[in-house]
Structure 1
Amino acid sequence: MVDYGVVQGWQNTVNCSGQKQYICGYCNALVRANRCFMQRRQQRYSSETEFAYLFICPGCDCPTFWNDCPEWQYPVRRPGQDVPNLPEDIMALYNEARSCLTVNAHTASVMVSRKLLMNVAVAHGAKEGKSFAEYVQFFVDENLITSNNRGWVDQLREKGNGANHRTAPSSAEDARSLIDFCNMLLRTIYEFAKQHPPATT
């Protein structure tokens, strides 16, 4: 997880009594802020009043902007889940692919996920300079993808290559699906392998 540091000394905040529960985009924790800045304003084309907030995370002390009409948050939580025990270069690519989705950069996310999977394959013995499809096949051949997930392989090849060779941008669904696949694969290779090392004879 990226270390954003801690912001000290927020001044002139008001007590918001934990009124809003949200997932902090910095530390990924589900929190209820006790401190915030609040703005009350009248909508331009109606008589209705809306509120905007800058919530201070009680965990990491970082600010999250929240608008209540329409509801939206910035920064949003990165999709996917943190995976422990990742090498630094693999973690950086995985988090970059996730972060792309927080700004709707779906095609960029797909391309970074593609690079992530290629790097993981090379780190586990695949030769450099192969096609993306060959790297995906490497995971199958090395039994790093379980039989339950092999039906996804053809789609994965198509989406990964399509990000480079088609003019149409990748969809949010494609990008999130690929993030989910990367999460599954990384957990299998790094987290599960760490917790359950092969038995020695």
Structure 2
Amino acid sequence: MNDLTVDIFAGNLKWNETNMISRSFTCGYCGAYVSSEKGMPLLEPGSGYNTNYYQKNNIGVYICNNCCMPTFIYKDIQVPGNRYGSPVKGVPEEVNNVYEEARSCYAVNAYTGTVLLCRKLLMHVAVDLGADENLRFIEYINFLNEHHYVSVKSNEWIDQIRKYGNEATHEIEVSSKQDAQLILKFCEMLLKMNYEYPSIVNND
């Protein structure tokens, strides 16, 4: 149980609906980077609004001024967290659902889940682009590489993706935040090159 939970259950803190000191953050719902001063600061009962510790440190629920959804921020904790990466247009629904689920896993710090979902995503993409079903993961990665669905300068990326995919599945090891960011960024790049950019040209 963290300090915040203890303070709330002990009655040391309360929610107070009012304007807040402005804070910038990336909204976990719409993905927009916003600066908001609307919400409910977390206050110590009896403390002055402008002098208490929590208000000075921008702690509480902030309302996104883009989508109007609430984000809770406490020190380095943000709920919901930032969904790493960007939405990609022109992606088949089944493939896109896996990509967005991986981004949602990242937002709740489920980094091993993110890596495993990205592994599944790459298999979906390979099959959608013409690979046979029921192949091994490494065969799908080789298919994407050999058929030039991946940039010719992405050999280091490919090697890392093979490594992370195998570790997350076959070894007792928890993936790190950096692992999740790398494979998500690779998936975003792959989806944009093979779906979003071609769809823009086809629509012109």
Shorter-normalised TM-score: what interval?
0.7 to 0.9
Task: Give me the TM-score of the superposition, normalised by structure 1.
Answer: 0.82
Alignment correspondent of 2:19: 15
The correspondence of residues 43-54 of structure 1 with structure 2, limited to 5 A, is 49-51=53-55, 52-54=59-61
| Structure 1 residue 156, shift from structure 2 partner | 1.4
Letter of the aligned partner of 1:49 in structure 2? Y
| Structure 1 residue 34, shift from structure 2 partner | 4.1
* Residue-by-residue CA offset, 1:138-182 (whole Å, 9 max, x unaligned): 111211111111232222112112211101122221111100100
Match of 2:66 among 55, 59, 66: 59
Alpha-carbon distance between aligned partners in 2 of 1:174 and 1:55, rounded to the nearest angstrom: 29
| Structure 2 residue matching 1:32: 3-state secondary structure | strand
Contact 2:20 2:39 in 1 (8 A): yes
Aligned length: 178
Match of 1:25 among 21, 24, 28: 28
Unaligned runs of at least 5 residues, structure 1: 1-11, 43-47
| Structure 1 residue 71, shift from structure 2 partner | 3.6
The runs of 4+ residues in structure 1 deviating greater than 3 Å are: none
Letter of the aligned partner of 2:42 in structure 1? Q
Alignment correspondent of 1:86: 91
Match of 1:36 among 34, 39, 57: 39
Q: Which moved more, 1:188-197 or 1:110-119?
A: 188-197
Alignment correspondent of 2:185: 180
The correspondence of residues 1-201 of structure 1 with structure 2, limited to 5 A, is 13-16=17-20, 19-41=22-44, 49-51=53-55, 52-67=59-74, 70-197=75-202
| Structure 2 residue matching 1:38: 3-state secondary structure | strand
Alpha-carbon distance between aligned partners in 2 of 1:151 and 1:21, rounded to the nearest angstrom: 34
| Structure 1 residue 189, shift from structure 2 partner | 0.4
RMSD: 1.8
Alpha-carbon distance between aligned partners in 1 of 2:71 and 2:159, rounded to the nearest angstrom: 39
Q: Which moved more, 1:116-125 or 1:97-106?
A: 97-106
* Residue-by-residue CA offset, 1:78-98 (whole Å, 9 max, x unaligned): 011111111111111111111
| C-alpha distance 34-49 of structure 1, shift in aligned 2 (>3 A) | closer
Alpha-carbon distance between aligned partners in 1 of 2:170 and 2:146, rounded to the nearest angstrom: 26
Unaligned runs of at least 5 residues, structure 2: 1-15, 46-51
Q: Which moved more, 1:131-140 or 1:158-167?
A: 158-167
Alpha-carbon distance between aligned partners in 2 of 1:14 and 1:49, rounded to the nearest angstrom: 16
Structure richer in helix, relative to its length: 2
| Structure 1 residue matching 2:40: 3-state secondary structure | strand
Contact 2:41 2:54 in 1 (8 A): no
Task: Give me the TM-score of the superposition, normalised by structure 2.
Answer: 0.81
